[in-house]
Amino acid sequence: MNMLKIADRTFQSRLLLGTGKYPSFEIQKEAVEVSESEILTFAVRRMNIFEQSQPNFLEKLDLSRYTLLPNTAGAKTAEEAVRIAKLAKSSGLCDMIKVEVIGCDKSLLPDPVETLKASELLLEEGFIVLPYTSDDVVLAKRLEQLGVHGIMPGASPIGSGKGILNPLNLQFIIEQSSVPVIIDAGIGSPKDAAYAMELGADGVLLNTAVSNANDPVKMALAMKLAIEAGRFGYEAGRIIEKNYGVASSPMTGMITS
Amino acid sequence: MIIQLNGKRHELPQNIATVADLLEAFELKNRIVIVEINKEIIPKEQYLLPCLKDGDAVELIHFVGGG
């Protein structure tokens, strides 16, 4: 399988895994392990200093083994996203940022105008910028023209598990892009992940589909395999669909009476 | 002195004047923590400077699980 290239980095794995909402640290650790993901996403938040009893699973992972992709979740404006991104970068642990500026609290769909503004500002600051966007083809084009390092269109609303609702738009985005396209948000099951890869996506970013599965570790494995299968399928080139049957066995040498 | 610490009014004991003191008081010295005062990120080199002032808005930030 070809490698995933983002900016000047290369990755074996095309699965980017979120780190939220796992039932326990042990399960999260094993799921991350089994997924073979090399890029982990996480959020930037105030420390819970007044109630330190609450565990932070992320701190127990060996973060040095992974490329860290913090998000700007919680931001509603470009300004807030830039503040969060700078805080994350100042840790010295990462220079990539998933630009996530939510424009609608109910659907959690991104604000296209603020996402574009934030991406522009963060590129000027020298970040590796990966914006989470809707499946808007023109917005993806505009982001690419700004110089973002990848486009991350959602398959459906964050955490909805509805899978790929508009494969045509995703395909348009994939076809036009010269930067990696990572399908982010809305993946529900392995078939969605495989489908995204068969459409030609360069990667899939998911969280809830694994962390909230009955067995997150097994689902992490299923997603890894689905993404590999989908990618191999894409690279192999599928057959053209036909309306009628075409025999697989020879039409000559029939045994007749 | 009284500061706004992670959005809450918080009274600091007299002996806390630097970021290093503050992190020590909350047992955060060996954790991944980002410090912001009045929306300015404080570089680690400045943790030993007595920069805390009455009325400062101090944020102690870290990474949590997220997608």
Catalytically annotated residue among A21, A60, A89, A98: A98
Does A192 or A24 have the greater pLDDT score?
A192
Residue A216 has pLDDT above 70, yes or no: yes
Contacts of B63 in chain A (CB under 8 A): 42-45, 58-59, 68, 70, 88, 91
Q: What CA–CA distance (Å, rounded) separates A85 from A60? A: 22
Tell me the C-alpha distance between A101 and A78, whole Å.
Answer: 7
**B33, B59, B66: residue with CB nearest A42:** B66
Q: What's residue A50's pLDDT?
A: 85
pLDDT for the residue numbered A54: 64
**Stated pTM of the model:** 0.91
Our answer to whether residue A86 is catalytic in this structure is no
Interchain proximity B60–A46, CB inside 8 Å: yes
**With 80 as the cut, is the pLDDT of residue A52 above it?**
no
A25, A32, A40, A49: best mutation site toward chain B, by most B Cβ within 10 Å?
A: A49
Kindly tell me if the per-residue pLDDT of A218 is higher than 80.
Answer: yes
Q: In sequence order, which residues have a C-beta less than 8 Å from that of residue B42 and are 6 or more positions away?
A: B19, B35, B36, B51
Which chain B residues touch A57 with a CB distance below 8 Å?
65
Tell me, what amino acid is at A133? T
Among residues A97, A86, A144, A84, the alpha carbon closest in space to that of A116 is found at A144
Mean pLDDT across chain A: 95
Residue A166's contacts (CB-CB under 8 Å, 6 or more residues apart) are A135
Contact A87 B61 (CB under 8 A): yes
d(CA A169, CA A177): 12
Closest listed residue to residue A128, CA positions, set A176, A200, A67, A42:
A67
Which residue is associated with the tokens 């689902």?
A219
Q: Let me know: does A196 contact A234? Beta carbons within 8 Å.
A: no
**Of B28, B32, B65, which is closest to A57 when you measure between CB atoms?**
B65
Strand partners, A43: B64
Residues A96, A69: contact at Cβ < 8 Å?
yes
Determine the pLDDT at residue A14.
98
ipTM reported for the complex, 2 dp: 0.91
With CA atoms as reference, the chain B residue closest to A99 would be B67
Chain A hits for B39, CB-CB cut-off 8 Å, are 83
Average pLDDT, integer, range B38-67: 94
Please name the residue of chain B whose CA is at the shortest distance from the CA of residue A39. Answer: B67
Strand pairing report for B34-37 and B40-41 = antiparallel
End-to-end CA distance of chain B: 38
